[in-house]
Amino acid sequence: MTVIFEPIETRTVRMKVVEQVFRMIREKKLKPGDQLPSERTIAEQMGISRPTVREAVAALEVVGLVETRIGQGTFIKSVELEPLRFRAESLFLEERSPFEALETRKVLESYAAALAAERATDEQLGEIAAALAEIEDGVKNDSMWNEAADRRFHLAVLAATNNSVLYDVTKMLLEMNQHRVWFKLKEMGRLLPGSLEKDLSEHQAIYNAILSRNQEKAKEVVWNHYVMVERDIFGA
Protein backbone atom coordinates (compact mmCIF):
# COMPACT_ATOMS: atom_id res chain seq x y z
CA MET A 1 0.00 0.00 0.00
CA THR A 2 1.34 3.41 -1.03
CA VAL A 3 0.39 6.34 1.19
CA ILE A 4 0.75 9.76 -0.44
CA PHE A 5 0.82 12.90 1.70
CA GLU A 6 -0.30 16.16 0.12
CA PRO A 7 1.92 19.27 -0.05
CA ILE A 8 0.83 22.08 2.28
CA GLU A 9 1.60 25.74 2.80
CA THR A 10 0.59 26.93 6.24
CA ARG A 11 2.08 28.21 9.49
CA THR A 12 0.37 25.43 11.43
CA VAL A 13 2.24 22.72 9.58
CA ARG A 14 2.59 20.36 12.54
CA MET A 15 -1.18 20.17 12.99
CA LYS A 16 -1.64 19.67 9.25
CA VAL A 17 0.51 16.55 9.42
CA VAL A 18 -1.63 15.30 12.30
CA GLU A 19 -4.86 16.13 10.44
CA GLN A 20 -3.77 14.19 7.35
CA VAL A 21 -2.97 11.10 9.43
CA PHE A 22 -6.37 11.32 11.15
CA ARG A 23 -8.10 11.76 7.81
CA MET A 24 -6.38 8.72 6.32
CA ILE A 25 -7.48 6.63 9.30
CA ARG A 26 -11.03 7.95 8.99
CA GLU A 27 -11.03 7.07 5.26
CA LYS A 28 -9.66 3.58 6.03
CA LYS A 29 -6.44 4.31 4.15
CA LEU A 30 -4.56 3.60 7.39
CA LYS A 31 -5.56 1.09 10.07
CA PRO A 32 -4.02 -0.26 13.30
CA GLY A 33 -0.75 -2.02 12.54
CA ASP A 34 -0.06 -0.08 9.34
CA GLN A 35 3.31 1.62 9.07
CA LEU A 36 3.64 5.30 8.26
CA PRO A 37 6.03 6.31 5.50
CA SER A 38 9.47 7.44 6.67
CA GLU A 39 9.91 10.96 8.00
CA ARG A 40 11.95 11.83 4.92
CA THR A 41 9.19 10.62 2.61
CA ILE A 42 6.47 12.55 4.48
CA ALA A 43 8.62 15.69 4.51
CA GLU A 44 9.27 15.46 0.78
CA GLN A 45 5.63 14.75 -0.11
CA MET A 46 4.33 17.62 2.02
CA GLY A 47 7.14 20.04 1.20
CA ILE A 48 8.07 20.63 4.85
CA SER A 49 11.09 20.03 7.08
CA ARG A 50 11.94 16.75 8.81
CA PRO A 51 11.98 18.44 12.26
CA THR A 52 8.36 19.50 11.71
CA VAL A 53 7.39 15.95 10.75
CA ARG A 54 9.23 14.56 13.78
CA GLU A 55 7.42 16.96 16.12
CA ALA A 56 4.07 15.91 14.66
CA VAL A 57 4.88 12.20 14.96
CA ALA A 58 6.07 12.72 18.55
CA ALA A 59 2.76 14.44 19.38
CA LEU A 60 0.85 11.52 17.82
CA GLU A 61 2.86 9.16 20.00
CA VAL A 62 2.26 11.24 23.14
CA VAL A 63 -1.52 11.03 22.63
CA GLY A 64 -1.38 7.31 21.82
CA LEU A 65 -2.26 7.21 18.11
CA VAL A 66 1.06 5.77 16.94
CA GLU A 67 4.07 3.96 18.35
CA THR A 68 7.64 4.24 17.13
CA ARG A 69 9.77 1.12 17.13
CA ILE A 70 13.46 1.89 16.95
CA GLY A 71 14.97 0.44 13.79
CA GLN A 72 11.55 -0.46 12.37
CA GLY A 73 9.44 2.65 11.94
CA THR A 74 6.21 4.25 13.16
CA PHE A 75 2.98 2.26 13.28
CA ILE A 76 -0.69 3.12 13.77
CA LYS A 77 -1.73 2.02 17.24
CA SER A 78 -5.29 3.28 17.79
CA VAL A 79 -8.29 4.51 15.81
CA GLU A 80 -10.04 6.44 18.61
CA LEU A 81 -9.88 9.55 16.50
CA GLU A 82 -11.85 12.37 18.06
CA PRO A 83 -10.56 12.21 21.68
CA LEU A 84 -7.00 11.82 20.42
CA ARG A 85 -7.35 14.58 17.85
CA PHE A 86 -8.51 16.99 20.56
CA ARG A 87 -5.55 16.02 22.74
CA ALA A 88 -3.12 16.49 19.84
CA GLU A 89 -4.55 19.94 19.10
CA SER A 90 -4.23 20.84 22.78
CA LEU A 91 -0.54 19.87 22.73
CA PHE A 92 0.17 22.26 19.89
CA LEU A 93 -1.84 25.05 21.48
CA GLU A 94 0.11 24.87 24.75
CA GLU A 95 3.55 24.09 23.33
CA ARG A 96 5.75 26.08 20.99
CA SER A 97 7.90 24.26 18.45
CA PRO A 98 10.63 22.33 20.32
CA PHE A 99 12.90 22.63 17.29
CA GLU A 100 12.51 26.41 17.11
CA ALA A 101 13.15 26.72 20.85
CA LEU A 102 16.26 24.56 20.53
CA GLU A 103 17.48 26.53 17.52
CA THR A 104 17.17 29.76 19.49
CA ARG A 105 18.92 28.24 22.50
CA LYS A 106 21.80 27.28 20.22
CA VAL A 107 22.32 30.93 19.29
CA LEU A 108 21.88 32.40 22.78
CA GLU A 109 23.66 29.74 24.82
CA SER A 110 26.73 29.67 22.59
CA TYR A 111 27.10 33.41 23.19
CA ALA A 112 26.32 32.91 26.88
CA ALA A 113 29.11 30.33 27.18
CA ALA A 114 31.58 32.85 25.76
CA LEU A 115 30.47 35.43 28.32
CA ALA A 116 30.67 32.84 31.09
CA ALA A 117 34.25 32.04 30.07
CA GLU A 118 35.08 35.72 30.47
CA ARG A 119 33.05 36.57 33.59
CA ALA A 120 32.45 33.47 35.72
CA THR A 121 33.48 33.74 39.37
CA ASP A 122 35.10 30.83 41.17
CA GLU A 123 31.80 30.18 42.95
CA GLN A 124 29.93 30.11 39.64
CA LEU A 125 32.48 27.73 38.15
CA GLY A 126 31.87 25.53 41.17
CA GLU A 127 28.13 25.50 40.48
CA ILE A 128 28.73 24.38 36.89
CA ALA A 129 31.18 21.70 38.06
CA ALA A 130 28.75 20.39 40.70
CA ALA A 131 25.94 19.99 38.14
CA LEU A 132 28.33 18.29 35.73
CA ALA A 133 29.43 15.87 38.47
CA GLU A 134 25.79 14.85 39.00
CA ILE A 135 25.34 14.28 35.28
CA GLU A 136 28.51 12.16 35.20
CA ASP A 137 27.33 10.12 38.18
CA GLY A 138 24.01 9.36 36.49
CA VAL A 139 25.65 8.26 33.24
CA LYS A 140 28.50 6.23 34.72
CA ASN A 141 26.77 4.62 37.69
CA ASP A 142 23.11 4.42 36.70
CA SER A 143 23.24 4.53 32.87
CA MET A 144 20.72 7.37 32.91
CA TRP A 145 20.63 11.06 32.11
CA ASN A 146 19.97 13.25 35.14
CA GLU A 147 17.53 15.78 33.68
CA ALA A 148 17.46 17.91 36.83
CA ALA A 149 21.26 18.14 36.90
CA ASP A 150 21.30 18.93 33.18
CA ARG A 151 18.91 21.81 33.78
CA ARG A 152 21.08 23.08 36.66
CA PHE A 153 24.15 22.87 34.43
CA HIS A 154 22.64 25.08 31.74
CA LEU A 155 21.23 27.52 34.28
CA ALA A 156 24.62 27.71 36.01
CA VAL A 157 26.30 28.58 32.72
CA LEU A 158 23.68 31.27 32.13
CA ALA A 159 24.14 32.64 35.65
CA ALA A 160 27.89 32.85 35.03
CA THR A 161 27.28 35.41 32.27
CA ASN A 162 26.27 37.86 35.02
CA ASN A 163 23.73 39.21 32.55
CA SER A 164 20.26 39.01 34.08
CA VAL A 165 18.40 39.72 30.81
CA LEU A 166 20.24 36.98 28.92
CA TYR A 167 19.63 34.63 31.86
CA ASP A 168 15.87 35.32 31.99
CA VAL A 169 15.30 35.14 28.22
CA THR A 170 17.25 31.91 27.77
CA LYS A 171 15.71 30.35 30.88
CA MET A 172 12.29 30.94 29.31
CA LEU A 173 13.44 29.01 26.23
CA LEU A 174 14.76 26.24 28.46
CA GLU A 175 11.34 26.01 30.12
CA MET A 176 9.77 25.46 26.68
CA ASN A 177 11.82 22.28 26.46
CA GLN A 178 10.04 20.83 29.50
CA HIS A 179 6.84 19.98 27.61
CA ARG A 180 5.54 16.55 26.64
CA VAL A 181 6.41 16.61 22.93
CA TRP A 182 9.99 17.64 23.74
CA PHE A 183 10.36 14.86 26.30
CA LYS A 184 9.06 12.31 23.80
CA LEU A 185 11.54 13.54 21.20
CA LYS A 186 14.39 13.43 23.69
CA GLU A 187 13.34 9.96 24.84
CA MET A 188 13.60 8.77 21.25
CA GLY A 189 17.04 10.39 20.90
CA ARG A 190 18.29 8.74 24.10
CA LEU A 191 17.70 5.32 22.51
CA LEU A 192 20.50 5.93 20.01
CA PRO A 193 23.60 3.86 20.88
CA GLY A 194 26.19 5.87 22.82
CA SER A 195 23.95 8.93 23.19
CA LEU A 196 24.49 9.26 26.95
CA GLU A 197 28.27 9.12 26.68
CA LYS A 198 28.31 11.57 23.76
CA ASP A 199 26.11 14.05 25.61
CA LEU A 200 28.31 13.76 28.69
CA SER A 201 31.50 14.40 26.74
CA GLU A 202 29.92 17.47 25.12
CA HIS A 203 28.94 18.88 28.53
CA GLN A 204 32.45 18.19 29.82
CA ALA A 205 33.87 20.09 26.84
CA ILE A 206 31.60 23.06 27.62
CA TYR A 207 32.77 23.16 31.22
CA ASN A 208 36.45 22.78 30.29
CA ALA A 209 36.26 25.63 27.78
CA ILE A 210 34.64 27.93 30.34
CA LEU A 211 37.10 26.86 33.04
CA SER A 212 40.06 27.62 30.75
CA ARG A 213 38.59 31.08 29.98
CA ASN A 214 38.61 30.27 26.26
CA GLN A 215 35.71 32.33 24.93
CA GLU A 216 35.89 31.21 21.31
CA LYS A 217 36.17 27.55 22.29
CA ALA A 218 33.24 27.86 24.69
CA LYS A 219 31.08 29.38 21.97
CA GLU A 220 32.15 26.70 19.49
CA VAL A 221 31.54 23.67 21.71
CA VAL A 222 28.05 24.84 22.73
CA TRP A 223 27.13 25.54 19.10
CA ASN A 224 28.40 22.11 18.05
CA HIS A 225 26.54 20.47 20.96
CA TYR A 226 23.23 21.84 19.74
CA VAL A 227 24.02 20.95 16.13
CA MET A 228 24.41 17.34 17.32
CA VAL A 229 21.17 17.52 19.34
CA GLU A 230 19.32 18.80 16.26
CA ARG A 231 20.73 15.94 14.21
CA ASP A 232 20.04 13.20 16.73
CA ILE A 233 16.60 14.31 17.90
CA PHE A 234 15.18 16.02 14.83
CA GLY A 235 17.12 14.49 11.95
CA ALA A 236 18.05 18.03 10.92
Residues 6+ apart with CB under 8 A from 172: none
133 and 192 inside one domain: yes
In a shared domain, residues 56 and 132: no
- Residue 81, pLDDT score: 61
Please give the pLDDT value at position 227.
94
pLDDT score, position 46: 87
**Same domain assignment for residues 46 and 115:** no
Q: Whole-angstrom Cα distance, residue 175 to residue 108?
A: 14
**Predicted local distance difference test score (pLDDT) of residue 119:** 98
| 26 and 86 part of one domain | yes
Q: Which residues of the chain have pLDDT under 70?
A: 1-11, 78-95, 177, 191, 236
Query: Residue 6 falls within a domain, yes or no?
Result: no
pLDDT of residue 11: 46
Of the three residues 76, 94, 112, the one that is the final residue of a domain is 94
**Distance between CA atoms of residues 189 and 197, nearest Å:** 13
Q: Dump pLDDT digits (tens) for 52-68.
A: 888 888 888 888 888 88
Domain that holds residue 160: 98-234
Q: Which of 61, 94, 127 is the last residue of a domain?
A: 94
29 and 145 assigned to the same domain = no
User: pLDDT tens digit string along 110-142?
Assistant: 999 999 999 999 999 999 999 999 999 999 998
* Number of folded domains that form the chain: 2
Helix (H, G, I), strand (E, B) or coil at 113: helix
Are residues 209 and 170 part of one domain?
A: yes
23 and 136 belong to one structural domain: no
Smallest CA-to-CA distance from 101 within 163, 6, 170 is with 170
